[in-house]
Chain A
Amino acid sequence: MAEFVIFAKDNTHPDAWKDAAGCYKRGDIVEVMPDGHKRGSKVTLPKFLYLKVPGLDAKRARKYLEEHKEQILGGNAPIARIARRRKYRLRVDDLPGPIRGELLTTGEVTLTWAQARDFLRDKISQRDETGKPAP
């Protein structure tokens, strides 16, 4: 089972670029951990949520930790610069009412891959993982 550690709030920065590129936003997948991992006592509401997906391999699910990078000129050569902390996010506020309620009240919820993928969105393409097999 994979356990997604989801950021529950919006961090902000007065610099618009740094805000978009550097700050964690609500729904960002901060960590993907295997079943039974030792949770940190500080990783709780109101900053963090847990989404548990039985049957999903945690190593493969780490693809959802991917950053979005862009190429800029640094020194004499192009370098990759972070443009978004995470490429994927969980659409927390679009989850069905009972599921959302449980998640926001208890801090965690268990969903099947078929349930979860419809709310895992690629921020760049703006498409969910709907219909995609588990990674």
Chain B
Amino acid sequence: MTTTVTSDIIGGANHYPSLTAWEAGEQADITLATGSDEIHEARCFDGTLADICTIFGWTTSATNYIRIFTEAAERHDGTVATGFRLTDSGTDTAIRIAEEFVRIEGLVIHDTGNHGCISDVGASGTGEIRVDSCIGKSDTGTSSSFCFSFGSTGASIVVVLRNNIAYDFRNATSGGFGYGFLSSSCVAYLYNNLAYNCRRGFVIGSANQLLINNIGDACEVDYVFSAGPHASSSNNFSSDTSISTFGTQSVSPTYVNEAGDDFHLDAADTVARGNGLDLSAAANFPFSADIDGDARSAWDGGPDEVASASEAFDLSAETFAVTAAFQDAGLDFVAGGTAYALDAEAFSMEAEIAGAARDVEITAAALSMASAFGDVTLGHHLGTGLYSMDADGFDVEAAIGDAGLEFVPDPFPPVDYSVDAESFLMNVAMQPATLIDSGEVVTDDRRNRASQARFGFGGRSRRA
């Protein structure tokens, strides 16, 4: 049975400080036939790594492959601003692949010195190289290299590029390419990629190379076909006329923040939104998520899928922070009852709940109220019995104005009232705090202390 061996990069308890060290340390025959029958993964943690990694000297197969990836929490958010970021040290391409079966997923790669981001440097034989959800950017803005280069890839290597972004590879006079297959006749599947502001967006070298749902935008030339592309290429977009019959010409999608390099599709876009081809059941390398890991439904062009308006919202978080005012938040709890429960392990309210004209039951292990609860009534008309306010930690840091704590014993004779709290801290006055006590208060010393604490305002009490 195939075993997955995962090594951590620049983070985690037991890690390698670079991809280069990982590659040297793990290099092996990992195939079932002659080696360890393993998948080897390099799991990259959030942060920046200056490195040049060459993947070479292994023995791999279709089921025993090498994978460099980020998990969702360590991954970019669709821009280069967040997540694990690899820079090329300025001296060579950041990741060079000379091995047959390699997958790279969810990396941000900065080309700082005109060398490109990912390139095949001599993988031969039969193989499959996949690059998914990666963002390549030229930091100089004048790079003459390829962001993703497969120009010398062997004819028996299949290259799969999905949901990637390449931008700012634009040299004024020569070079500067987003996706390059210039001299290669390899089989390639380019699905839902974006080339933006490159001298040449997509450079295609063979009819073996299939393009679907790609966007070439703001490049000097969006698509260059020295041969090909595959006859089934479709649903691509170009800001110029270079896509020809393989898509829609002379269109530019609307992005969330084009000037700020946020190439998520804007919800108002009408060019790429819903105009992609559904590849969830593609004959080869089907997929159903976008660059952010969000499910595709309408199948937009390019790496990003605009979220559907009918998408469900999950409010079952362990930690639930509300930092804005709850004013007509539209949280409808239709349970058929009269109580509305806000259950959370940690529930922080930093804003005012104004006019929440409904009964609210708050059952929280830790309840912090940093601001005023306007018009929240803890209203219990008390009958005979023992009443307690039990809390391990109950902090009231703001005024409870008109809190409406009404102790109405009914009937006589007097009963015990206590405020039990391990820690009950009031920093500010409760006023006006109307005590409606039509009964008789227990007068022994212990009860007095409790009463003083309850009605003396400012004291700290423990249960008598």
Residues on A close to B: CB < 8 A? 5, 7, 11, 13-14, 18-19, 21-24, 28, 30-31, 33, 37-43, 47-48, 67, 74-77, 79, 81-82, 85
- Of B16, B27, B98, the contact of A43 (CB 8 Å cutoff): B16
Distance, CA A39 to CA B14, complexed state (A): 11
- Of A18, A38, A67, the contact of B57 (CB 8 Å cutoff): A18
B248 at the interface (CB under 8 A from A): no
Contact A42 B121 (CB under 8 A): no
- Of A22, A74, A85, the contact of B183 (CB 8 Å cutoff): A74
27 contacts between A and B (CB under 8 A): A5-B21, A11-B57, A13-B29, A24-B24, A24-B27, A24-B57, A31-B21, A37-B17, A40-B15, A40-B18, A41-B14, A42-B7, A42-B15, A42-B21, A42-B22, A42-B25, A43-B25, A47-B24, A74-B122, A74-B152, A74-B183, A75-B151, A75-B183, A77-B183, A81-B121, A82-B54, A85-B54
Chain A residues whose CB sits within 8 angstroms of the CB of B24 once the complex forms: 7, 11, 24, 28, 30, 47
Chain A residues whose CB sits within 8 angstroms of the CB of B16 once the complex forms: 40, 42-43
B34 at the interface (CB under 8 A from A): yes
Beyond the given A19-B57, A74-B152, could you list 18 further A-B residue pairs with CB under 8 A, ordered by the A residue number? A14-B34, A18-B57, A21-B57, A22-B56, A22-B57, A23-B27, A24-B24, A31-B17, A31-B21, A42-B16, A43-B21, A47-B25, A48-B21, A48-B25, A74-B122, A75-B182, A82-B54, A82-B98
Which of B14, B25, B183, B184 gathers the greatest number of chain A CB atoms within 10 Å? B25
Distance, CA A82 to CA B14, complexed state (A): 30
B28 at the interface (CB under 8 A from A): yes
Contact A76 B183 (CB under 8 A): yes
B377 at the interface (CB under 8 A from A): no
Closest to B28 in A: A11
Chain B residues whose CB sits within 8 angstroms of the CB of A7 once the complex forms: 24
Question: With A42-B14, A48-B25, A75-B184 known to touch, is A30 a contact of B121 (CB < 8 Å)?
Answer: no
Chain A residues whose CB sits within 8 angstroms of the CB of B98 once the complex forms: 22, 82
Closest to A39 in B: B17
Which of B57, B59, B121 gathers the greatest number of chain A CB atoms within 10 Å? B57
B13 at the interface (CB under 8 A from A): yes
Question: Size band of the B side of the interface?
Answer: 20 to 34
Contact B27 A40 (CB under 8 A): no
Question: With A41-B13, A74-B183, A75-B152 known to touch, is A82 a contact of B56 (CB < 8 Å)?
Answer: yes
Chain A residues whose CB sits within 8 angstroms of the CB of B183 once the complex forms: 74-77
Chain A residues whose CB sits within 8 angstroms of the CB of B25 once the complex forms: 42-43, 47-48
Instruction: Give chain A nearest CB distance to B43 CB in angstroms.
Output: 12
Chain A residues whose CB sits within 8 angstroms of the CB of B21 once the complex forms: 5, 30-31, 40, 42-43, 48
Contact B56 A31 (CB under 8 A): no
Contact B122 A81 (CB under 8 A): yes
B48 at the interface (CB under 8 A from A): no
Chain B residues whose CB sits within 8 angstroms of the CB of A75 once the complex forms: 151-152, 182-184
B252 at the interface (CB under 8 A from A): no
Chain B residues whose CB sits within 8 angstroms of the CB of A23 once the complex forms: 27, 57
B20 at the interface (CB under 8 A from A): yes
Distance, CA A61 to CA B21, complexed state (A): 17
Closest to A86 in B: B24
Distance, CA A82 to CA B21, complexed state (A): 18
Q: Mark B1-37, 1 if CB is under 8 A from A, else 0.
A: 0000001000001111110111011011100001000
Question: With A37-B17, A40-B17, A76-B183 known to touch, is A13 a contact of B59 (CB < 8 Å)?
Answer: yes
Distance, CA A124 to CA B166, complexed state (A): 38
Distance, CA A79 to CA B93, complexed state (A): 14
Chain A residues whose CB sits within 8 angstroms of the CB of B56 once the complex forms: 18, 21-22, 82, 85
Q: Give chain B interface residues in 421-435, CB to chain A under 8 Å.
A: none
Instruction: Give chain A nearest CB distance to B126 CB in angstroms.
Output: 14
Question: With A31-B21, A40-B17, A85-B57 known to touch, is A79 a contact of B34 (CB < 8 Å)?
Answer: no
Contact B20 A30 (CB under 8 A): yes
Closest to B17 in A: A40
Distance, CA A18 to CA B56, complexed state (A): 8
Distance, CA A77 to CA B180, complexed state (A): 15
Chain A residues whose CB sits within 8 angstroms of the CB of B59 once the complex forms: 13-14
Closest to A22 in B: B57
Closest to B183 in A: A75
